[in-house]
C-alpha cells in the first residue's frame, strides 16, 4: 500500500469547505422533515442519492431495513473503515438529538475523503443506520454481518460537552405481568388474588434495592395495566421496566435481579408472573482510545478541544454500543450548546439548526475523514486499535 500522502489532511479540509453549502443544505433538509424510526425514507433517499451521484456503489435496502443502506468506494481489498450515519428523529421533538448533523457530517466525511483520494486502497464504507432512538438499526446491521471485516466504525454526536468519547450504558426493556383472580372487594374479598398489589410490591422492592445499585445502573418502571374498575380486584396487572447498566455485564445482573424479585413476589402473593423481553436492548459503548485520541487531534486543528468525560457521568444508551462490541469504534461528543442545556429538548432541536451547529458539523466531517484516512493508511493505528479492543473484550469493559 502506498504511503499516506502528507498533504491529505489539507486536501480533505479543502474538499469539506468546497462542499460546505451542500452539507449544510442536507442537514437543514433533514431537520425540516424529521422522520421517526424506520420511516426515514426521505433521509435515506437524500443521503444515499448524494453518495451514488459521487460515484459510490450504493446498496439499499440492507439488513432487511428499507431505510438502511451501505455505500462503498475503493479497491475492495485491504483495510475497511465505516462512517456511520444516523437520521431518525424523536416523536414530538424532531431532531432534538441532532441526528441531522450526524448524517451530514458522516456524508461530508465520506464525500471529502472520496474527493481527496481518487484511488482508495482499501474500502471506504458509508453506512446509513436507521432507528437509533427506537428499534436499534445498528443492532440489526451487526447481526446481518455488515461490520464483518471492518477495521473501525466512526461517527460523532452533537451534545452539550466536548468529550473525546461517550460514557454510554447498556440498556434493556422488560415487561412483567402478574396474573391473579378477580373478586368483589367487599362481596367476596377472600376469593380474590390482587395482581395489582403484587405489581406494586415489585415497585416497592425495587425502590429499596435502588440504593444498592452500582454507579450507572438503574431501573425505571411504569404501570401499563392496573385493572378495569375500582370494585373489582384486578386479576391482571402489568408493568414495563427500563434498565441500564454501566456495562453489559452489570445490566445482565440487573435483569436477573428483576426476574428474581418478580418471581419471589409471585410466590409470596399467590399470583403467577410472566417476565418477557420487551424489545431490542443496547450493549454499553466500548471506547477505543487509539481512535478517539486520533480524532481529537484532527478536531483540534479546527479549534475544538476535546477532553475526557466527567467522572461518574453516564449519558444514556445507544446502538453504537453493539457496533463497538464487534469492531473498534469512535463516538465523541461535540457541543452545539452550553453544558447547562440537554439533548432531547426543544432547545436542542433549535440548536441543531444553528450557526454553531453548522461549524461543528463541518469540523466533525473534516476530523472524521482524516481519521478514516488514517485507518486506511496506518497499519500501526489499526493494530493498536484492535489490540485495545481485544484487551477490553477480554476484561468485559
pLDDT above 90 as % of the chain? 89
First to last CA, the chain: 34
Over the stretch 46-94, which tens digit does the pLDDT of each residue have? 999 999 999 999 999 999 999 999 999 999 899 999 999 999 999 999 9
- Annotated domain spans of the chain: 8-168+283-395, 170-277
Over the stretch 336-393, which tens digit does the pLDDT of each residue have? 999 999 999 999 999 999 999 999 999 999 999 999 999 999 999 999 999 999 999 9
| pLDDT at 314 (0 to 100) | 84
Q: How far is residue 32 from each of residues 96, 100, 396, measured CA to CA in Å?
A: 12, 9, 41
Lowest model confidence (mean pLDDT) among 158-162, 246-250, 277-281: 277-281
- In this predicted structure, the answer to whether residue 5 has a pLDDT above a threshold of 80 is no
CA distance 70 to 80: 13
- In this predicted structure, the answer to whether residue 3 has a pLDDT above a threshold of 50 is no
Asked if residues 285 and 166 have their Cβ atoms less than 8 Å apart, the reply is: yes
Cell numbers representing residue 163 in the block: 468529550
Asked if residues 135 and 168 have their Cβ atoms less than 8 Å apart, the reply is: no
- In this predicted structure, the answer to whether residue 4 has a pLDDT above a threshold of 70 is no
Q: 191 vs 368, which has greater pLDDT?
A: 368
Question: How far is CA 304 from its chain centroid?
Answer: 23
Of 166, 395, 105, residue with least CA distance to 291:
166
| Domain 8-168+283-395: assigned CATH number | 3.40.630.10
The 10 Å Cβ neighbour count of residue 186 is 7
Protein fold of 170-277: Alpha-Beta Plaits (3.30.70)
Asked if residues 202 and 176 have their Cβ atoms less than 8 Å apart, the reply is: yes
Over the stretch 6-59, which tens digit does the pLDDT of each residue have? 689 999 999 999 999 999 999 999 999 999 999 999 999 999 999 999 999 999
- In this predicted structure, the answer to whether residue 238 has a pLDDT above a threshold of 80 is yes
The 10 Å Cβ neighbour count of residue 191 is 11
Question: How far is CA 281 from its chain centroid?
Answer: 11
| pLDDT at 374 (0 to 100) | 97
Q: Within a 13 Å sphere around the CA of 171, how many CA atoms are in the beta-carbon half? A: 27
Residue 169: pLDDT band with limits 50, 70, 90: very high
Question: How far is CA 86 from its chain centroid?
Answer: 9
Please state the pTM of the whole predicted model: 0.92
Sign of the CA dihedral running 302, 365, 292, 374: negative
Over the stretch 101-122, which tens digit does the pLDDT of each residue have? 999 999 999 999 999 998 899 9
Identical fold at 8-168+283-395 and 170-277? no
Asked if residues 50 and 114 have their Cβ atoms less than 8 Å apart, the reply is: no
| pLDDT at 2 (0 to 100) | 43
CA distance 120 to 108: 16
CA distance 331 to 260: 35
- In this predicted structure, the answer to whether residue 306 has a pLDDT above a threshold of 70 is yes
- Bridge partners of 19? none
Of 370, 374, 336, 376, residue with least CA distance to 353:
336
Asked if residues 332 and 292 have their Cβ atoms less than 8 Å apart, the reply is: yes
Mean pLDDT, range 268-276, rounded to an integer: 98
Residue 1: pLDDT band with limits 50, 70, 90: very low
Cell numbers representing residue 47 in the block: 443521503
CA distance 205 to 223: 15
CA distance 153 to 368: 10
Mean pLDDT, range 200-229, rounded to an integer: 93
CA distance 56 to 118: 12
Over the stretch 126-150, which tens digit does the pLDDT of each residue have? 999 999 998 999 999 999 999 999 9
| pLDDT at 31 (0 to 100) | 98
Amino acid at each position: 500500500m502506498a504511503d499516506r500522502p502528507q498533504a491529505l489532511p489539507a486536501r480533505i479540509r479543502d474538499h469539506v469547505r468546497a462542499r460546505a453549502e451542500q452539507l449544510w443544505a442536507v442537514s437543514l433538509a433533514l431537520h425540516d422533515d424529521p422522520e421517526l424510526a424506520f420511516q426515514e425514507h426521505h433521509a435515506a433517499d437524500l443521503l444515499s442519492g448524494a453518495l451514488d451521484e459521487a460515484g459510490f456503489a450504493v446498496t439499499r435496502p440492507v439488513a432487511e431495513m428499507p431505510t438502511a443502506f451501505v455505500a462503498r468506494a475503493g479497491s475492495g481489498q485491504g483495510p475497511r473503515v465505516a462512517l456511520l450515519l444516523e437520521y431518525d428523529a424523536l416523536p414530538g421533538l424532531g431532531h432534538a438529538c441532532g441526528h441531522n448533523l450526524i448524517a451530514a457530517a458522516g456524508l461530508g466525511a465520506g464525500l471529502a475523503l472520496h474527493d481527496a483520494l481518487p484511488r482508495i486502497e482499501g474500502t471506504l464504507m458509508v453506512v446509513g443506520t436507521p432507528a437509533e432512538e427506537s428499534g436499534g438499526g445498528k443492532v440489526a446491521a451487526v447481526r446481518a454481518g455488515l461490520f464483518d471485516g471492518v477495521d473501525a466504525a466512526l461517527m460523532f454526536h452533537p451534545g452539550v460537552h466536548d468529550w473525546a468519547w461517550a460514557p454510554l450504558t447498556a440498556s434493556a426493556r422488560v415487561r412483567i405481568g402478574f396474573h391473579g383472580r378477580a373478586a368483589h372487594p367487599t362481596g367476596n374479598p377472600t376469593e380474590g388474588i390482587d395482581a395489582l398489589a403484587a405489581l406494586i410490591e415489585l415497585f416497592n422492592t425495587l425502590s429499596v434495592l435502588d440504593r444498592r445499585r452500582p454507579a450507572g445502573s438503574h431501573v425505571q418502571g411504569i404501570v401499563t395495566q392496573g385493572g378495569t374498575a375500582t370494585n373489582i380486584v384486578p386479576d391482571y396487572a402489568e408493568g414495563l421496566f427500563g434498565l441500564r447498566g454501566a456495562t453489559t455485564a452489570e445490566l445482565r445482573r440487573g435483569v436477573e435481579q428483576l426476574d428474581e424479585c418478580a418471581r419471589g413476589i409471585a410466590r409470596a402473593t399467590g399470583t403467577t408472573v410472566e417476565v418477557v423481553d420487551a424489545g431490542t436492548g443496547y450493549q454499553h459503548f466500548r471506547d477505543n482510545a487509539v481512535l478517539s485520541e486520533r480524532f481529537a487531534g484532527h478536531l483540534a486543528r479546527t479549534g475544538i478541544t476535546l477532553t475526557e468525560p466527567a467522572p461518574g457521568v453516564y449519558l444514556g444508551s445507544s446502538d453504537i454500543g453493539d457496533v463497538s462490541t464487534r469492531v473498534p469504534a469512535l463516538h465523541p461528543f461535540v457541543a452545539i450548546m452550553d453544558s447547562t442545556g440537554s439533548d432531547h429538548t426543544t432547545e436542542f432541536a433549535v440548536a441543531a439548526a444553528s450557526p454553531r451547529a453548522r461549524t461543528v458539523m463541518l469540523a466533525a466531517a473534516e476530523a472524521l475523514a482524516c481519521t478514516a484516512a488514517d485507518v486506511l493508511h496506518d497499519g500501526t493505528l489499526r493494530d493498536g486499535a484492535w489490540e485495545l479492543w481485544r484487551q477490553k473484550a477480554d476484561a468485559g469493559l
